[in-house]
Copies of this chain bind each other. A is one copy, B any other.
Amino acid sequence: MPLEVGVLGYGFMGKAHANAMARLPMFFPDAPEIERSVLIGRTESALSDAADRLGFDSIATDWRDVVDDVDVFYNLGPNHVHREPSIAALEVGTPVFCEKPLAPTLSDAEAMAEAAREAGDDVPAGCAFNYRFVPAIQYAKRLLEAGELGEIHHVRGRYLQDWLVDPEAPWSWRNDAELAGSGALGDLGSHTVDLMRFLVGSDDLAGEIERVSGHLRTFVEERRTEDGDETRPVTVDDAYSAQLAFANGAMGTLEGSRFATGHKNDHTIEIHGSEGSLRFSLERLNELEVLRDGDRGYETILITDEDDPYIDHWWPPGHVIGWEHLFVHENYEFLSAVAEGTTYEPSFADGLAAQRVLDAIEESNDRGEWITLES
């Protein structure tokens, strides 16, 4: 019996996940069999077209009708829709996969993580930090876990986009505090914080993020709506930066912006340890730059060899993969966990942990002082 999957949302993320599900059988033959069962949205006609294009069997306009019936529920809606349907699904024992950031507010995120805890370990609740599934990032984690970088001193993360630098760019839900929670901080920063936690968060590396100092800015205070009839206030940040102090004493700096002219989707991670360093950029996601003990410079490695993470499923060495492949890896891992009733990471707990850091960054910005995270 294939797993029946219900998906809320059919925009950019809906397409990315539907594509990923469609590709599993050919490339990950041991993935559980699934059925793209129900696509959920508000506007019936658009929904119907999307279901057709994305290969769903049926549609529904109310998630309440779905979360109990399906075997898995994907919540790909805007941030303010993350909480209620996700909790409802978990309460009836349906595994949930939710887009990031986990929720617009910390209390929402806490409620969602609590629901996941109560649902139990055999009901996976995943948070969509897809960049964990870049082969180069997984390769980097292997290096770090093997101790090849030694004691961690510096981590640096930047996520640069420029889609709002034009003051005429229209208002969207992403500019609204009620709907989105925050701006660049939640949208971009959640990815960066999660990668930091994933890569160096273990106790034998940098450990937990203990203190943060944050800085948020809104460069353009109001924008016209798409149809141009009115302006609405931008109530979230256009850009943020932060300083981090880790448990082991490592220092971190973060940045995220929608105003970085010329950068479309430029997520970079840099780490310096006592024995080595590494650098990664999402715009060259098949590459990792590594400096190991004894090296004098960075080695630019194409992470497309057969024994690199996930690569044996794809193509021969040197045949690069794209951004969408991360979703295939992610869906493979999540759906396998669902089928086997095992835990999945990044979980709602990871989503909450990232949120705590983001929340502290925002609070630090408001109060003008470093904030210590509760451990």
Contact = CB atoms under 8 A, between A and B. Distances in A.
Total identical chains: 4
A187 to B, nearest CB: 13
A318 B283 contact: yes
Interface residues of A, number: 83
A302 interface: yes
Contacts of A55: 25-26
B315 A16 contact: yes
A253 B272 contact: no
Interface stretch (A62-70, A99-107, A196-204, A254-262): A254-262
Interface in A1-35: 12, 15-16, 18-19, 22-23, 25-27, 29
Interface stretch (A38-46, A111-119, A173-181, A241-249): A241-249
Nearest to A304: B264
A300 B301 contact: no
A259 B318 contact: no
Interface in A337-375: 368-370
A257 B153 contact: yes
Interface in A297-340: 297-302, 304-305, 314-325
A210 interface: no
Contacts of A291: 261-262
Interface stretch (A82-90, A120-128, A211-219): A211-219
B251 A253 contact: no
Contact of A249 (B156, B219, B282): B219
Given A297-B299, A323-B319, A260 B243 contact: no
Nearest to A369: B369
Nearest to A285: B320
A274 B261 contact: yes
Contacts of A239: 153-154, 251
A261 B276 contact: yes
Contacts of A322: 286, 319-322, 324-325
Given A255-B156, A322-B322, A300 B302 contact: no
A248 B374 CA distance: 35
Given A243-B243, A368-B370, 7 more contacts: A253-B255, A262-B297, A284-B284, A299-B299, A315-B323, A368-B369, A369-B370
Interface of A: 12, 15-16, 18-19, 22-23, 25-27, 29, 53-55, 149, 153-154, 156, 160-163, 165, 213, 215, 217, 219, 239, 241-243, 245, 249, 251, 253, 255, 257, 259-266, 272-277, 282-287, 291, 295-302, 304-305, 314-325, 368-370
Report, nearest first, the 10 A-B pairs whose CB atoms are least far apart.
Answer: A265-B318, A264-B318, A322-B322, A369-B369, A262-B291, A321-B322, A297-B301, A319-B323, A264-B317, A368-B370
